[in-house]
Structure 1
Amino acid sequence: MDGRAAAPAAGTVLNALATGTGSAFAIGPEVTATVTLGKGSVSGTVDGVDDADTRLIERCVELVTETYGDSQGGTVRTDSEVPLASGLKSSSAAANATVMATLSALDAADEVTRTEAARLGVEAARDVGVTVTGAFDDASASMLGGVTVTDNDRDELLHRATREWDVLVWTPPEQAFSSDASVERCRRVAPVADLVADLALDGEFKRAMTVNGFAFCSALGFSPDPILNALPDVTGVSLSGTGPSFVAVGDAMDLTAVRERWDERPGTTLLTTTQNDGARIDD
């Protein structure tokens, strides 16, 4: 009873911390999960990270087997191209990959819609306390691909679209955990978040993410300089999640100019693309 699946990372259009409405888009880097079911409890490992917190992926296996199996135990291992605690939705990608790998191991993937599978990962994230909002925006973008807009209070998908963008990511050396973010400060920018949500629901994703970026840099204490470095070469650039990464979208030529400036900052840059297919099961 083995299963293997992969799910993409994501960038932010609208941070859901202010109002519960969020928006995200899937990007190229992936997290892969390998699940082997058997007896006993569930044990998880993260490849290359000896002291990793494995509660989320273990809880994902437990929830799937409780719901669609016989509460089997077993092992789960994830291998990530996505830096941890970087604002690029590594937790959502790991949860989605684990859920899909477990469903594959149970031969139950056809019984569950992708949206339902994403909700299982969100439930696991809430159970172990790694998310403030439930992160259904991040989970849905990673699971379904494309750009999604969601009501995270009700785990409801409000809108989904596909976009063919080149994407530039800058990740500084430090980490930022979403569970440590100040919800109170984020709620102060709720009127701006409402405007961003309206733009996103109208398909104005690039404008939406730039407004989001300025608002949440202020709320979360990040410098907006990386956004200013990217403007006016691109119209879509934002702090991703609760940071510390920033993402810019556009065409490769414009992003090359942005990359030259972002490369002067400590950390790493990555040029990738949007991903419109979402999570997949590897046979």
Structure 2
Amino acid sequence: MYGRAVALGAGTVLNALSTGVGSAFAIDAETTATVELDDSETVTGTVAEDGDADTRLIERCVELAIEAYGDGDATYGGSVRTESAVPMAAGLKSSSAAANATVLATADALGADPEQLEACRLGVEAAHDVGVTVTGAFDDASASMLGGVTVTDNDTDELLAREEVEWDVLVWTPTERAYSADADVERCANVASMAELVADLALDGRYAEAMTVNGLAFSAALGFSAEPAIEAMPHVAGVSLSGTGPSVVAVGDDEGLDAVQKRWDERSGRTWRTTTRTDGARIL
């Protein structure tokens, strides 16, 4: 019993840590999950890019997907392996992409055709179960699963809005890593009034402006320099710290992104170009 699926990384419009409302947009960076099921009753996971990576999330995704889509009278176990172009612990939703791909691949192995948001919520449940998220990351997961830009209430796992966008994207990913579960929630609560403004902008379709306000507020709250965003602001439509960092994402036209890339290339780490995606996750 074999299944494969792919899901997308994403960038941030609004960090959900302050108010529970979040927004994200899918980017052209994929995570692929391969699941093989048997009757072993044990699930083991492997992350291709890091043999020592924590595999609890993808293993729990397999378990929950088996409960949801399997034959209740049968006993399952097996293995899951993920391969990803989304950097881990960089604020680009690698966990959400891995969870979505794993749930869909498990459903594929079981011969099921799950509804996307239902599958997405299983991944969010798994993330809560293993403690890799504070908010549940339904905003990130929904963007990864559905494509486009989404706005969500992460307290209720409700999709508030979705829109297809076509943006060129520039990403700067420094060498350090930041884990969402380690974010200072209390400091993020201090910028709740700004998060509410960002939510209003996003729900009004002003996503790029929302990004910039979010980036300035959460860079300060989470202890990251706002200098990369300030360098970008004269040249791009929107720029933000992505997730809980450390990556910074900018959207705009080629000329503006070229100007920003020249500045960001002088920084340590990796600067790279991509685009938004509107097609979302899929079974292969």
Measured against the shorter chain, the TM-score band is over 0.9
Alignment partner of 1:131 out of 113, 130, 133? 133
Quote how far apart the aligned CAs of 1:281 are. 1.0
Quote how far apart the aligned CAs of 1:113 are. 1.3
* Equivalent residue, structure 2, for 1:45: 46
Unmatched runs of 5 consecutive residues or more in structure 2: none
Quote how far apart the aligned CAs of 1:67 are. 1.5
Q: TM-score, normalised by structure 2?
A: 0.98
Secondary structure of the 2:82 match is strand
* Equivalent residue, structure 2, for 1:29: 29
* Equivalent residue, structure 1, for 2:103: 99
* Equivalent residue, structure 2, for 1:242: 244
Q: Which amino acid aligns with 2:212?
A: T
Q: Distance in 1 between matches of 2:189 and 2:220?
A: 12
1:86 aligns with 2:90: yes
Aligned residues of 2:49 and 2:84 also touching (Cα < 8 A): no
Aligned residues of 2:100 and 2:123 also touching (Cα < 8 A): yes
Quote how far apart the aligned CAs of 1:254 are. 1.2
Q: Which amino acid aligns with 2:31?
A: V
Q: Distance in 2 between matches of 1:237 and 1:167?
A: 10
Q: Which amino acid aligns with 1:94?
A: A
Q: Distance in 1 between matches of 2:271 and 2:224?
A: 18
Q: Which amino acid aligns with 1:27?
A: I
* Equivalent residue, structure 2, for 1:76: 80
Q: Distance in 1 between matches of 2:257 and 2:103?
A: 34
1:54 aligns with 2:55: yes
* Equivalent residue, structure 2, for 1:205: 207
Unmatched runs of 5 consecutive residues or more in structure 1: none
1:2-13 matches, within 5 Å, as 2-13=2-13
Q: CA RMSD in A?
A: 0.7
Quote how far apart the aligned CAs of 1:235 are. 2.5
Secondary structure of the 2:17 match is coil
Secondary structure of the 1:278 match is coil
Q: Which amino acid aligns with 1:107?
A: G
1:16 aligns with 2:20: no
Q: Distance in 1 between matches of 2:85 and 2:117?
A: 23
Quote how far apart the aligned CAs of 1:125 are. 0.3
Q: Distance in 2 between matches of 1:256 and 1:78?
A: 32
Q: Distance in 2 between matches of 1:146 and 1:268?
A: 24
Q: Which amino acid aligns with 1:239?
A: L
* Equivalent residue, structure 2, for 1:221: 223
Quote how far apart the aligned CAs of 1:94 are. 0.2
Q: Distance in 1 between matches of 2:26 and 2:51?
A: 27
Quote how far apart the aligned CAs of 1:251 are. 1.4
Q: Which amino acid aligns with 1:44?
A: G
Q: Which amino acid aligns with 1:258?
A: V
Q: Distance in 2 between matches of 1:239 and 1:258?
A: 15
Q: TM-score, normalised by structure 1?
A: 0.98
* Equivalent residue, structure 1, for 2:182: 180
Secondary structure of the 2:98 match is helix
Secondary structure of the 1:198 match is helix
Identical residues among aligned pairs (%): 70
Q: Distance in 1 between matches of 2:165 and 2:69?
A: 34
Q: Distance in 1 between matches of 2:253 and 2:115?
A: 33
Aligned residues of 2:146 and 2:278 also touching (Cα < 8 A): yes
Quote how far apart the aligned CAs of 1:48 are. 3.0
Q: Which amino acid aligns with 1:132?
A: V
> Structure 1 stretches (4+) deviating beyond 6 angstroms?
none
Quote how far apart the aligned CAs of 1:203 are. 0.3
